[in-house]
Each structure stands twice: as structure tokens, then as C-alpha cells.
């Protein structure tokens, strides 16, 4: 391997690691937002289920009596429809896509973007 090829691989590795490291804070933030949203839905749903009036009124009236449940379900649904849950796995998705491409060049990478060079497996002779 020539010096130019080595420098190109190092530059590619640095850029890949930079891209993955820039996506990680967004991924972590998305996890926290979804966890808080889910806990809010679960808490308001628990309050909804333990309401003694739930069996005496219609479902629509029950949701009117529990506006926080309606709000939390709407927020959770909007986050889901916007694909917010995919942001949690963005670093792993980027690394997996790079692994697929790098496999053709007898290389791979870890989840942080560090290149892994595999020994040559083809026979020359």
C-alpha cells in the first residue's frame, strides 16, 4: 500500500468518525425525548384507567375528562409519524451502510467509524 493510499484511508476514517460523532448527540437527545414522552403517555394512561368515572361515561367523554392523555398520545403519535424513533439508531445505520460498502474492499468499520483492514483472502498464483 502506497503512502498516498494510506493517507486517503486515514482521511476517510477521520471523516467517517467525525460524521458519526456529530450524529450521536442528536441520537441521545432523541432517546431522551422518546423516553420522556413514553413515560408521560404511560402515566396519563394509568390515571385514565384508574378513574372511577371511566365506566359511567362514553369513551369520547373519557378523553375529554383526561386532556393530558389526549395531548400525550397526540405528541407521541406525531413523534412516531415524523420518524423520530429512527434518529436513535442513526449512528448504527451509518456504520452499517459503510460496512456494506467497505466489504467490497476487504475492509470494515466499528460503530465509532474506526476502519478495520482485513487480510487479503484471494489467491495470487
pTM reported for the whole predicted model:
0.69
**Tens-binned pLDDT, residue by residue, of the chain (125 aa):** 688 888 998 999 999 999 999 998 888 899 999 999 999 999 999 999 998 888 888 888 888 889 999 999 999 999 999 988 888 888 899 999 999 999 988 899 998 889 998 887 665 54
- Judge residue 7's burial from the number of C-beta atoms within 10 Å of its C-beta, 0-12 exposed, 13-18 middle, 19 or more buried: exposed
Counting Cα atoms < 13 Å in the Cβ hemisphere of 72 gives 21
Amino acid at each position: 500500500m502506497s503512502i498516498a493510499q494510506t493517507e486517503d484511508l486515514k482521511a476517510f476514517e477521520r471523516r467517517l468518525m467525525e460524521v458519526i460523532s456529530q450524529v450521536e448527540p442528536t441520537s441521545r437527545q432523541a432517546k431522551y425525548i422518546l423516553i420522556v414522552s413514553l413515560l408521560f403517555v404511560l402515566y396519563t394512561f394509568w390515571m385514565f384507567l384508574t378513574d372511577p368515572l371511566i365506566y359511567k361515561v362514553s369513551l369520547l367523554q373519557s378523553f375529554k375528562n383526561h386532556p393530558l392523555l389526549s395531548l400525550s398520545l397526540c405528541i407521541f403519535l406525531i413523534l412516531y409519524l415524523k420518524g423520530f424513533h429512527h434518529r436513535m439508531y442513526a449512528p448504527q445505520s451509518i456504520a452499517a451502510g459503510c460496512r456494506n460498502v467497505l466489504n467490497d474492499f476487504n475492509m470494515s468499520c466499528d460503530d465509532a467509524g474506526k476502519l478495520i483492514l482485513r487480510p487479503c483472502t484471494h489467491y495470487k498464483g
